[in-house]
Amino acid sequence: MAELGLIPARNLATGKGVNADALIRSVLLGAVFLALWISFRPFQSLADPDEVTEAGNVVNQVGYSLLFVLLAAWCMLHQPSRLALLVRPILLAALLWLALSVATSWEPTLSARRLTFTFVVIGIAGMALLLPKNLRHFADIMAAVVLIVLVLCYLGVIFAPSVSIHQASDFGEKDLAGDWRGVFEHKNSAGAAMVAFVFIGLFVARVRSVILGFTIVTLALIFLLFTHSRTSIAVLPMVLVVSSIMPRLRRPALGIAFAVSVVVALNVFSVGSLYFAPVRNLLDVILTDSSFSGRNEVWQFAVDHMMQRPLTGYGYAAFWGTPEVVYGLSGISTWANTANHAHNAYLDLAVTVGIPGAILVALWLVVLPLVDFYRSPHMPREAALEMLFLRVCLFAAYGSCFESRLLEEGGAPLFLIAATFGLRFLSVLRLTA
């Protein structure tokens, strides 16, 4: 990515063998995305309930903290001032509001721990973008990582189906039996990863190798279909269509409005169906399951409790799974009490950090990437990378209407945040060119 201004041109590889600098960059970049998609606990058995402890997932905390320290040490020797390009008022305001939500949380210790981990993930996402030596290097590492994950997923399905495919003996969600999940904990996580792999495959096909790229796309699409992750399967073509139209809309305001209008429409037809009778009646006609697999119960539960604390929320990542919610905060025990999230990231944010916090995070992770896309150079060399980052951001924005894919717990948002930062870097390149 040196041509893109993310690293100084003098650090470009000469193409005469692999030097220590290139090897270190490759290992660190590969480690970041292998940790993201394989995780530090792959092929988990779901036969027993999760062990919930006050300390959280220690393995994740140690693993990501180690990555953060290694990346920070590397960045200290490679112009860390470049990270200042990522700092912008909306980001600072969003992070400040998230920090304030810890003080107002009904579980301040839990919120503080999870917010600290989120800050670590944000730092990793920003520093990881400084590692590639050039565009081809980035494409090579991403292709290698994705192929490793895909091979492990398929090998798991073939040789270890009990920990790679949802089983009827799983402790929860027994109706998912038969759905593929590979190295992932849940079929929806696997589905979201496969969509990301499709985007990466298309990127590799344009930058590195058509055969390699479409091999990745084919393997990812097949696995995606067997996950039966309906949100990912439905949103993928939507993203491909919108991302193909946006570059043709030369007026930025029109393109941004077009992309955001899809988010609004999806929320109207999902959460809005609880309140708008015409929408609900239309869904009853066109869908076999207008409850969206029971999500409407969770949405109603989330909205009811959001309205009780609309300004501050219940505290960053401190609502779902807490004893107060699991054991019937509303006085009525439904499956919504035991849900892991609201199945809508915008609602999740409003419940946990309040409506102002949800708006700030949505501006940072949904709207500003679209603005940066139109500010980026749109040169042939950068076009493939711009499109990769745009598609990742659009998928998160649209998928978040049915799942929690913005600032969900753990390292899952890392690729989205990296894509957001990537578009920011590209837009700065144009402004400084």
418 Cα distance to chain centroid:
9
Q: Nearest-CA neighbor of 246 among 92, 379, 394?
A: 394
Instruction: Find the largest Cα–Cα distance for the chain.
Output: 69
pLDDT in tens, 269-315: 989 888 888 888 888 888 777 777 778 888 988 999 999 999 999 99
Structural Rg of the chain based on CA atoms: 21
Q: Where are the domains of the chain?
A: 79-129+237-432
This prediction's pTM: 0.92
Q: How many CB atoms lie within 10 A of CB 232?
A: 26
Q: What is the 3-state secondary structure (H, E, C) of 106-171?
A: CCHHHHHHHHHHHHHHHHHHHHHCCCCCCHHHHHHHHHHHHHHHHHHHHHHHHHCHHHCECCCCCC
- For residue 165, the cross-strand partners are 180
Q: Nearest-CA neighbor of 80 among 31, 129, 42?
A: 129
74 Cα distance to chain centroid:
25
DSSP 3-state of 180: strand
Of the chain, the end-to-end C-alpha distance in Å amounts to: 15
Q: What is the spatial distance between Cα 295 and Cα 334, in angstroms, rounded to a whole number? A: 12
pLDDT in tens, 90-122: 999 999 999 999 999 999 999 999 999 999 999
Q: What is the pLDDT along the chain (433 residues), one digit of tens a residue?
A: 544 445 444 444 444 555 889 999 999 999 999 999 999 889 988 887 665 555 567 888 899 999 999 999 999 998 888 899 999 999 999 999 999 999 999 999 999 999 999 999 999 999 999 999 999 999 999 999 999 999 999 999 999 999 999 998 887 778 899 999 999 999 999 999 999 999 999 999 999 999 999 999 999 999 999 999 999 999 999 999 999 999 999 899 999 999 999 999 999 998 988 888 888 888 888 877 777 777 888 898 899 999 999 999 999 998 888 877 777 655 555 667 777 788 899 999 999 999 999 999 999 999 999 999 998 877 777 899 999 999 999 999 999 999 887 887 777 899 999 999 999 999 987 655 4
Burial class of residue 78 (count of CB atoms within 10 Å of its CB; 0-12, 13-18, 19+): middle
| Number of helices (H), then strands (E), in the chain | 16, 0
